[in-house]
Amino acid sequence: MSEELYTQSGTRIYISKLPVTAKLEVTPADFASVQWQEVEGLYNVGELGAEQAVNEFELINSNWMLKSKGTRNGGTMTNQFIPLSLDPGQIIVQQAIDDNCKKYAIKVERGADCAAESVVTIAIGTPGVVAWPGHGLAANQPVIFTVEGGALPTELSAGTAYYVTSPDASGFSVSSAPGGAAIATTGAGTGTITATAAPSGMTDMFQALVLDGARSGGSKNDLYLRTYSFAVNGRIITI
C-alpha cells in the first residue's frame, strides 16, 4: 500500500455561480451540473468534517451505559482570504452572504501540488478514450484538461472537472460526475492537450450556507484578512 504525505499547499476553494436546490443527502450526481467559480486570495484553510452526536442511556439492570449514534452535523468550515474586491469568486461569496435562505455548492480541492499530469490524446468514440499509458489513476478520480494551440473535443471544456471511469493500464474515459456515464466524443481534439488529476480522496463537495465573518485586526504590518465561513448543510461528498 502506498502512503503519501500532503500539505495544504495548492488548495483551492470553489463556489457555485448560482444557488442550488437544498438537499441533505447529496450524491456526486448532484454536483454534476454545477458551474464552479474559484474564490481567489485563499490564505488559511479551515477544518472540514462531520460531527456526530452520541445518545447515552443508563439501564437499570446493567452497570454499563448503552449508546447509540445520533444526528450528524457537517460543522462549519472557517477560511481566511485576502480581500479582493474585483475577484469574481469573492463577489459571489458576498452575494451568497446576502442570500439568507439560499444554499450554495462548495468544492475544496487539496493536493494540487502533488497532482499527476501528462500530455494526452483523446480519441473519437462512444465513449471517448483518453490515452495516458501508466497513468495510475483510480475510478472517480477528478481530472482537468487544458489545451494549447488547439481545442478540446466539443463535448469537453477546459478547466472543468471530469471523473475517471473504466481506467485500464493505457487510459480511461471520463464522466461529468463520479460514477456517471462515460462521455462520448465526436472529435479527437487538436493542439497539445494536458490532463491533470488531483490525488484521489482529496476533493470535498457539499452544500452550505455562506456566512460573513470578522475583518482581522493587528499591528501596523499585519496582513488584513477577511473570514468567510461555510455552514455545511447535509452530507460531505469526498472523491
Quick one: 95 and 136 in the same domain?
A: no
Quick one: 102 and 214 in the same domain?
A: yes
Mean pLDDT of the region 166-193: 90
Question: How far is the CA of 9 from the CAs of 76, 122, 200, in angstroms?
Answer: 21, 30, 16
CA 24 distance to own-chain centroid: 17
The answer to the question of residue 162 being in a domain is yes
Provide the pLDDT confidence category of residue 208 given band limits of 50, 70 and 90.
very high
Radius of gyration of the chain (CA): 21
Mean pLDDT of the region 217-230: 93
Note the pLDDT of residue 7: 79
Quick one: 151 and 45 in the same domain?
A: no
Provide the pLDDT confidence category of residue 90 given band limits of 50, 70 and 90.
very high
Q: Number of folded domains in the chain?
A: 2
Quick one: 104 and 206 in the same domain?
A: yes
Quick one: 97 and 159 in the same domain?
A: no
Q: What is the domain range of residue 212? A: 12-110+202-238
The answer to the question of residue 5 being in a domain is no
Contact 232, 206 (CB under 8 A): yes
Peptide bond into 83 cis (omega under 30): no
Note the pLDDT of residue 1: 36
For 105-126, write each residue's pLDDT tens digit.
999 988 777 788 999 999 888 9
Quick one: 27 and 93 in the same domain?
A: yes
Nearest CA to 104 out of 5, 16, 217 is that of: 16
CATH number at residue 83: 4.10.410
Quick one: 59 and 78 in the same domain?
A: yes
The answer to the question of residue 7 being in a domain is no
Quick one: 140 and 190 in the same domain?
A: yes
Quick one: 129 and 193 in the same domain?
A: yes
Helix (H) or strand (E) holding 114: none
For 1-45, write each residue's pLDDT tens digit.
346 677 788 899 999 999 999 999 998 888 878 889 999 999 999
The answer to the question of residue 6 being in a domain is no
* Residue 76 burial (CB count, 10 A): 15
The answer to the question of residue 3 being in a domain is no
CATH number at residue 167: 2.40.30.180
